[in-house]
Chains A and B, each alone.
Chain A
Amino acid sequence: MIRLERRPQPSRLWTAVTPLLAVLLTMIVGGLMFAALGKPPLEAIRIIFWDPLFDPQFSGYSRPQLLVKAGPLILIAIGLSIGFRAGVWNIGAEGQYIMGAVTGAAVGLAVYPSDSALLFPLMIVAGALGGWAWAMIPAVLKTRFGTNEILVSLMLVYVAENILASASSSWLRNPEGMGFPGSRNFKQWPAVHNTELIPDTGMHWGVVAAFIAVIAAYVLLARHIQGFNIRLTGEAPRAARFAGVNPARIVFLCLGIAGALAGMAGLFEVTGPAGQITIDFNSGYGFTAIIVAFLGRLHPVGILLAGLLMALTYIGGELAQLMLGLPGASIQLFQGMLLFFLLATDVFTNYRIRFGSEEVA
């Protein structure tokens, strides 16, 4: 008989080992899947995990791209993780990301073609506010009327997508775009272009912000009283209430931080790598960040590493499609496996396996 026995405390060893184990299992099962598709499995895995970093032909370009792709994921995931720690389930980061981008871009485009040095910081603030305001909707509804923030925040993603479509096809549309949808391209507007700070490193302001967010979240959760309150609310809500923590305040705080960070991520993306508001501007960062947050065990440093790993599977996955003709869906499946195995191996953190029959108490 094999049975699971709850550990008195989550195992520290397993907490650290499970992500590595999950990656390893993903490689094995993913490799089998690639083999079943008739593609060389070892080569596919090498292309996904190794080539973007070290291949002489591609790495010069794809290594910096790792930061570009990981930046927004980390920034959003950090915000989400704080809420998840407190049991505030914000699933709508995608919407907050869109609203941040739209608001920030709108502020900038309103004064086009100003070249004021203050404009870009102002747009960052506007982006953060846009995302924050969008996250306040589920926060207010939850604290006032007891609605479920999972549903409200998720539904607001679809509202945001429609606002985005309307922005790109009418009120933020490029007046010189011959009626085609899409805003002006920020890449052609040096004053607000969120370009690489050091050439060929991929380092733009959004990546800098992501690193700052990692440090700030670490300090908040490990050293600050609010961080303690957040963790307490998540782990023992009743105890938190007795300790005088106001649950409504925690909801506002968590959704506010997540919304502001997602909004900023949107603004950095629209003024940088994406370049413009388009109908399909959002490419799922807000949803992928949920995976990143859990892959990183809701820990700031873990999220940093998870974001980079996720970015690697994206870029490596694209490369594998290109070099081996793997179907796009198989890459998505591969990424899905990563989360699946992480959650599956997670069992060992909280439980240990016992062989033999249960002892009589």
Chain B
Amino acid sequence: MKRRTLLASAALSLALSGAAFAQDVPKIGFVYVGPVNDGGWSQHHHESAMQMKEHFGDQIELVEQESVPEGADAERVLTQMALSGADLIFTTSFGYMDPTIAVAEKFPDVKFEHATGYKTAENVSAYSARFYEGRAITGFLAGAMTETNKIGYIGSFPIPEVIRGINSSFIHAQKANPDVELSVVWISSWFDPAKEADATQALLDQGADVVLAHTDSTAPLSVLEKAGGFGFGQAADMADYKPEPRISSIIDDWAPYYIDRVQAILDGTWESHNVWQGIGDGMVGIGEITGPVPEEVKAEALQMKEDIANGDYHPFTGPLNKQDGSAWLAEGEVADDGTLAGMDFYVEGLTGDIPN
């Protein structure tokens, strides 16, 4: 009897020390919506995760799961990750929001970081990038470089994130060229090279000579390379298309944030927050400006980047009206984050309707 208890306690202490050992190295999980080599969104999160892992080396353990559908599957994957002893889990797609919140409720000791959503909890942070800051600069370059005064824009879904990008691009294209027109093609996908190529061709056929994209593939640039015209790298630098048709790019860089948050776990200082970081924090990058962009345009674009980065300039500064002509921001007034987060209207001067 005694021996058995002895054995049992030995086994227990062994198990406990095992658990303690596992806890010595925090386990950091990442969940991706696409494959890690999709060339866009998921690949960026994955590469940033790898940079984070490189930074910390053996101080942490990294586990990743790719191609996880949003909804019920995400909830299961997150639960299994939490059960496997993860300490911090990054859920890197908007559609993981509700599953993340639901799983976080069941595992109060596990920390979660959800990308691009708005719901938070005691153990759930939300993080997102102010891509519209980058789009101000690419929009400005597009406005300066168009000769037909027509810019094309490939949109994925008419959600606030995308509408914000369209508005920001258009406002700044107008700054460079008051006569500019912008037309949008919606393709209902974040990543679909064939549709993106078709959309680019359609925009060129309508007379556009600069095409901006809020979709992840390089297909628009490859069409522009053949047909002529300018474009931008999206999410990645897409340097293969330098010096033209790609004349600059808007780059997602999550690594600094990931390193920051994992460090907080190591230090035991992690707290839930809701952040929206832009050029200034390094989450949004602007790729090298190349091709036949005139020096003074380039200088002005870089100045704008500088001003946004240090907070001197906000891309949504009044006077700005809504598309229907009603007043939105008065002279010098700056848009608040709440309005930007839920943006569901075009600014004045944009034609066409937001599809429903």
Mark A residues whose CB is within 8 Å of B. Answer: 57-58, 61-62, 65, 68-69, 161-162, 165-166, 169-171, 178-182, 185, 187, 269, 272-276, 278-281, 283-284, 315, 318-319, 321-323, 325, 327-329
**Structural contact, B66 and A274, CB atoms closer than 8 A:** no
**Structural contact, B66 and A328, CB atoms closer than 8 A:** yes
Tell me if B118 counts as interface (CB < 8 A to partner A): yes
**Structural contact, A178 and B63, CB atoms closer than 8 A:** no
CB-CB < 8 A to B272: which residues of A? none
Which of B71, B338, B341 makes the CB contact (< 8 A) with A275? B71
Tell me if B160 counts as interface (CB < 8 A to partner A): yes
Which of B35, B63, B64, B75 makes the CB contact (< 8 A) with A273? B75
Tell me if B102 counts as interface (CB < 8 A to partner A): yes
A278 (CB) vs chain B CBs: closest residue? B95
**Structural contact, A328 and B35, CB atoms closer than 8 A:** yes
**Structural contact, B84 and A179, CB atoms closer than 8 A:** no
Q: A283-B69, A319-B80, A325-B63 are in contact. List 17 more A-B contacts (CB 8 A).
A: A57-B84, A58-B84, A61-B83, A169-B159, A179-B344, A180-B118, A187-B102, A273-B75, A276-B98, A280-B33, A284-B69, A318-B68, A318-B76, A318-B77, A322-B63, A323-B84, A327-B36
CB distance from A311 to the nearest CB of B (A): 11
**Structural contact, B157 and A269, CB atoms closer than 8 A:** no
Tell me if B104 counts as interface (CB < 8 A to partner A): no
Number of residue pairs A-B, CB distance < 8 angstroms? 111
**Structural contact, A280 and B70, CB atoms closer than 8 A:** yes
Give Cα A86–Cα B64 distance, bound, in whole angstroms.
Answer: 44
Q: A178-B342, A180-B118, A322-B84 are in contact. Are A281 and B71 (CB under 8 A)?
A: yes
CB distance from A316 to the nearest CB of B (A): 10
**Structural contact, A58 and B80, CB atoms closer than 8 A:** yes
- Give chain B interface residues in 43-72, CB to chain A under 8 Å: 63-72
A-B contact pairs, 20 of them (CB 8 A): A58-B83, A61-B79, A61-B80, A162-B188, A166-B356, A180-B94, A272-B72, A273-B71, A274-B72, A275-B98, A276-B98, A279-B157, A280-B71, A283-B71, A322-B77, A322-B84, A325-B63, A327-B36, A327-B66, A328-B66
B344 (CB) vs chain A CBs: closest residue? A179
Mark B residues whose CB is within 8 Å of A. Answer: 33, 35-36, 63-73, 75-77, 79-81, 83-84, 94-95, 98, 102, 117-118, 157-160, 188, 338, 341-344, 355-356
Max chain B C-beta neighbours (<10 A), residue from A179, A273, A318: A179
**Structural contact, A280 and B95, CB atoms closer than 8 A:** yes
3 smallest CB-CB distances across A and B, nearest first, come from A273-B72, A179-B342, A283-B69
**Structural contact, A179 and B98, CB atoms closer than 8 A:** no
Give Cα A25–Cα B228 distance, bound, in whole angstroms.
Answer: 52
**Structural contact, A315 and B76, CB atoms closer than 8 A:** yes
Q: A325-B64, A328-B65 are in contact. Are A278 and B70 (CB under 8 A)?
A: yes
CB-CB < 8 A to B158: which residues of A? 169-170
CB distance from A60 to the nearest CB of B (A): 9
CB-CB < 8 A to B356: which residues of A? 166, 169-171
Q: A166-B356, A169-B157, A178-B342 are in contact. Are A274 and B71 (CB under 8 A)?
A: yes
